[in-house]
Structures are given as C-alpha cells and as structure tokens.
C-alpha cells in the first residue's frame, strides 16, 4: 500500500464540475502509472480540505469511481486504487485534452504569448530528444 503520490488541483475557471475534475485526474494518473493498484487515496475530509471544496463533492467523485471499478473502499481502512485499469473513452480523452489546452492558453496569454508562439514552441519541443 503506497502513499498518496500526487497533487490534485481544481480549476475554478474551467467550467468542468469539481467532481469530474477529480475523477479525470485520478483516472489519468492511474492510466499513466502515477497511481497503481493498492495506492491509498486521501480521506474524503482530507481531500476536501486540501482542495478547499465541499466533502460531498469528493464523496461523489469517489462513489462514481467505485461504481466504475476504479476504486475500492474498505470501511474503516480507506479508499484504494483497484486492480482494474480505468476505461478512458475518446470523449473523455478529448475533454481532458480540451481542459489542458484551455489551461495552457490561459497561462500563455497571461504572459503575453500568442497562439502562434505557443504552437511554434510546442513544435520545437516535439523535435527535441526526450
């Protein structure tokens, strides 16, 4: 059983409901291996405090992921990543990419970058060896 290895963040401006943001971030963390089966998630109360949101929002996110088989809740011991990999359909991937791009453009425009400059910068990064 591992410790909680990531920082979740809520984007107040995205228009995406907070519980959906939690679900997407947890599912993508599992998909990329940042969370593995057996990892324990923060308690509802702790995550609500960390994100400054209503505990009912966290309950809703955890409950939906439990229904989907992504999480397992064990009364008295906590909520854990299950052994089932999450299914992330194309619509959900598209929604997540849209959220990432919206955040990217908002930050870039805050610093005075244009869309063309961002696209050019992304093109240069793509060509760099990793």
pLDDT number for residue 49: 95
Which sequence spans correspond to the domains of the chain? 18-81, 90-127
Neighbours of 96 (CB within 10 A): 18
Contact indicator for 21, 100 with CB cutoff of 8 Å: no
Cα(123)–Cα(121) distance, integer angstroms: 5
pLDDT digits (tens, 9 = 90+) for 71-118: 999 888 899 999 866 667 788 778 778 878 888 888 888 899 999 999
CATH number attached to the domain at 18-81: 1.10.10.10
Q: What residues have CB less than 8 Å from 53, skipping those under 6 apart?
A: 10, 18
pLDDT number for residue 41: 94
Whether the predicted model's global pTM rises above the 0.85 cut: no
pLDDT digits (tens, 9 = 90+) for 19-77: 999 998 998 888 888 999 999 999 999 999 999 999 999 999 999 999 989 999 988 88
Cα(80)–Cα(28) distance, integer angstroms: 15
Contact indicator for 59, 47 with CB cutoff of 8 Å: no
């Amino acid at each position: 059983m591992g410790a909680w290895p990531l920082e979740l963040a809520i984007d107040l401006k995205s228009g995406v409901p907070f519980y959906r943001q939690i679900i997407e971030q947890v599912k993508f963390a599992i998909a990329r291996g940042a969370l593995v089966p057996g990892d324990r998630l923060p308690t509802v109360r702790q995550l609500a405090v960390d994100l400054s949101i209503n505990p009912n929002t966290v309950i809703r996110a955890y409950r939906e992921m439990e229904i989907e088989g992504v999480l397992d809740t064990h009364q008295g011991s906590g909520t854990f990543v299950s052994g089932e990999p999450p299914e992330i359909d194309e619509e959900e991937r598209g929604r997540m990419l849209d959220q990432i791009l919206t955040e990217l453009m908002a930050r870039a425009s805050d610093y005075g970058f244009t869309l063309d400059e961002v696209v050019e910068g992304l093109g240069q990064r793509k060509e760099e060896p990793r």
